[in-house]
């Protein structure tokens, strides 16, 4: 799977929106996990960034690609131009999920995992349900 195919998949679109809405405040603003800047969660300049990168040079880390604990709100600048600032993001994720969860991600990243049409369909359905439930709880969908 190529980077473009992953990041344009409906599975990733639902999970990234879920992540941003999950961490957003009641006004729909979310704080970048690495720089601290606040932006609307539906801003194109706010991403859902991976601590363990899915595509890292010549290797892929598909085993952690859809792990909630591996993803945090991140501004475009930090995610794209600063390499994701993994040390800062790791500390942020530890504060949110605990050191054991992050240690487990670092073990899981070594697992061989391939994402095909079936797996992407499964994750799309799963994360669409999660996103729809969160929209219902929050009472708004910033992307509409």
pLDDT digits (tens, 9 = 90+) for 28-69: 999 999 999 999 999 999 999 999 999 887 678 899 999 999
Please tell me whether the overall predicted TM-score, pTM, comes out greater than 0.85 for this model. yes
Q: Nearest-CA neighbor of 3 among 128, 115, 131, 141? A: 115
Can you tell me the distance from the alpha carbon of 24 to that of 81, in angstroms, rounded to the nearest whole number? 23
Contacts 24+ apart (CB under 8 A), 77-84: 77/35, 77/45, 78/32, 78/34, 78/35, 78/49, 79/47, 79/49, 80/47, 82/34, 84/34, 84/49, 84/50, 84/51, 84/53
Helices and strands (DSSP H and E) totals, the chain: 6, 6
- Taking residue 73's Cβ as centre, other Cβ atoms within 10 Å add up to 26
pLDDT digits (tens, 9 = 90+) for 114-144: 889 999 999 999 999 999 999 999 999 999 9
């Amino acid at each position: 799977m190529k980077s473009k195919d992953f990041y344009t998949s409906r599975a990733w679109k639902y999970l990234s929106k879920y992540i941003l809405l999950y961490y957003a405040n009641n006004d729909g603003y979310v704080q970048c996990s690495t720089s601290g800047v606040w932006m609307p969660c539906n801003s194109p300049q706010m991403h859902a960034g991976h601590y363990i990168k899915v595509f890292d040079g010549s290797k892929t880390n598909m085993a952690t690609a859809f792990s909630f604990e591996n993803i945090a709100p991140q501004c475009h600048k930090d995610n794209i131009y600063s390499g994701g600032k993994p040390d800062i993001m790791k500390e942020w994720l530890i504060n949110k999920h605990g050191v054991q969860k992050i240690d487990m991600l670092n073990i899981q990243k070594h697992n061989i995992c391939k994402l095909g049409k079936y797996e992407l369909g499964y994750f799309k359905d799963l994360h669409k349900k999660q996103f729809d439930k969160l929209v219902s709880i929050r009472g708004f969908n910033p992307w509409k």
